[in-house]
A and B are shown apart, each in its own frame.
Chain A
Amino acid sequence: MSKISIPIGPQHPLLKEPLSMMVDISGERVLGASLRLGYVHRGIERLAQTRTYTQNVHLIERICGICSHIHTTTYCQAVEAVLGVEIPLRASYLRALMCELERVHSHLLWLGILAKHIGLDTIFMHAWHDRESVLDVMEEISGGRVLHAANQIGGVRFDIDHDHDSMIRSALKKLHEQVAGLLDVIENEPALIARTKGVAPVSPEVIKKYCVVGPMARASGVNVDMRRENPIPPYDQLDFSVVTHPDGDAWSRTYVRVEEIRVSLNLCESILEQLPEGPVNIRVPRRVPAGEVIIRSEAPRGELFYYLRSDGTDKPARLKVRTPTLAALSLLPEQLSAIHVADIPVVLAGVDLCVACADR
């Protein structure tokens, strides 16, 4: 059967963000694929060199509309490291609280997209309904649903009181029940199992070769999580498990992410339990002394890498950002090879694409 090349994107119902793929097929089999990025490239690394460290907090937040908080957290941690300042412990707990809420809403968003792609609209609606309650909490405590403006260099810009605490605990309790229901569906729903079990399996060796990180790597049995590997307070004081699965297929990726929601909900509860009293930020100098640092954090999609070099002025000399999606995208052509055409949406969803993150 002859080869046909099908362009998918940059604008396509399958994609929530612009990405161009050329997929070669023969009959019902996919032979290979190539990718083209850059449709939402904003030149943020270059822009960061022309703005002050404080202005960059707001620039960096706009790298991504899903995991904006972990970007500013990682950036602020990098600047604080070069400054040599230690933020108040309460501030680091509040940062982590937002990070974990962000992970919950990101994974629920992803689950909804996967369910929509494979025709399970009920799961899609449940997942996105539950995600709304997380966004409500984030809006209540920070003032923003998507861009939270929660971080500043030297701490956070918000604090929580007794009312917030009760509201968050009540939302967490409800989410625990909802997620238990979603996990039950994932483990037992025949349609979901049929569409995902054994689809596009990835071995740990391939994960390593393609530098893939986060839930995708953990779903192939690679036990790595920057919260544990490289603990920055308060993760060194919190007890949590790293979810892995050995199969590496689309079902494992689903299972790992939904289990991770449970882990994050538990972490939110632990953070509230252990939240120390004290200030939530400190004043820091505008100019940053010369120095360079690497910070690795665990974003919802995996290891987020920041390299910052200061030349002693009030603007960074170099800010390098490597997002987890960029690593996962390099594997996508390989993953799309030798699958059925009908499985393309499942494989795409499995990557948990964040094109804005990858493009920067």
Chain B
Amino acid sequence: MTEINLDHLCNTLKSNLGCDCHVFEEIMNDKTLVIDADSLKDAVKLLDCEFDNLHLSAITAQQRDPQADDIEVIYHFYLGEGFSLLTSLLGEEHVLPSLISIIPGADFYEREIAEMFGITFSGRTETPSLLLPEDWDQGPPFIRKEDKDE
């Protein structure tokens, strides 16, 4: 089993990508690093080279603050133990780089959070809906927190 040294990984990402990166300790059973959205794709590329067994388990999107427009996206990996990259999309424009050129299996996960949270993925030709009907036009994306007050 590969033991993840989070501080070492954080420093590696900082030095190789010149990005801001820090440890997030809130998620139980997981080692999490916070990284900016612009560096996400390069970080995953680097991880893919570094670890033979990089497995993308899921991508979670959520609004940590229901009143704000910011969306937090967490890429959950498994490397013999849980490891996640967390990125926050601030404001109303939510754009993330697509990972399907590195991990084709990310396709469904990206399509799901695109339709549920209104996130746009750059670097892929199209993002067809996955679960919602193709003619879905009922207001805000499906799991956004507008419904929290219901």
Contacts and interface: CB of A to CB of B under 8 A. Distances in A.
Contacts of B121: none
B142 A43 contact: yes
Given A291-B28, A294-B27, A296-B82, A318 B105 contact: no
A81 B130 CA distance: 31
B133 A49 contact: no
Interface stretch (B6-14, B37-45, B54-62, B89-97): B54-62
A37 interface: yes
B131 A211 contact: no
Contacts of B46: none
Nearest to A322: B58
Interface string A293-316: 111100000010101010000000
Interface in A192-245: 208-213, 224, 229-230
B104 interface: yes
A293 B28 contact: yes
Interface residues of B, number: 40
A174 interface: no
A45 interface: yes
Given A211-B57, A294-B30, A305 B105 contact: no
Contacts of A331: 105
Nearest to B60: A320
B31 to A, nearest CB: 10
B123 interface: no
Interface in A301-346: 303, 305, 307, 309, 317-318, 320, 322, 326-327, 329-331, 334
B58 A320 contact: yes
Contacts, number: 101
B57 A291 contact: no
Contacts of B104: 209-210, 330, 334
Interface string B94-108: 000000000111111
B62 A317 contact: yes
A154 B147 CA distance: 29
Contacts of B107: 330
Contacts of A291: 26, 28
Contact of B131 (A38, A229, A292, A307): A38
B12 to A, nearest CB: 21
A359 interface: yes
Contact of A37 (B27, B30, B131): B131
B58 A46 contact: no
A82 interface: yes
A330 B105 contact: yes
Contacts of A229: 1, 78, 80
Given A37-B130, A38-B132, A210-B105, A45 B143 contact: yes
Contacts of B54: 208
A50 interface: yes
A307 B142 contact: no
Nearest to A295: B29
B50 interface: no
Contacts of A307: 27, 58, 60, 74, 76
B28 A330 contact: no
A82 B30 CA distance: 13
A129 interface: no
Given A38-B131, A309-B62, A296 B57 contact: yes
A212 B105 contact: yes
A152 B84 CA distance: 29
A337 B13 CA distance: 37
18 contacts: A49-B147, A81-B29, A208-B54, A208-B55, A211-B56, A211-B57, A212-B105, A229-B78, A291-B28, A294-B28, A305-B58, A307-B27, A318-B62, A322-B58, A322-B76, A326-B109, A331-B105, A359-B131
Given A81-B28, A230-B81, A322-B57, 20 more contacts: A38-B129, A38-B130, A45-B143, A49-B143, A50-B147, A210-B104, A211-B56, A211-B57, A211-B106, A229-B1, A229-B78, A230-B29, A293-B29, A294-B27, A303-B57, A307-B60, A320-B60, A320-B62, A322-B76, A330-B104
Interface of A: 37-38, 41, 43, 45-46, 49-50, 81-82, 208-213, 224, 229-230, 291-296, 303, 305, 307, 309, 317-318, 320, 322, 326-327, 329-331, 334, 359-360
Q: Identify the 5 closest CB pairs spanning chains A and B, nearest first.
A: A211-B105, A322-B58, A210-B105, A38-B131, A293-B28
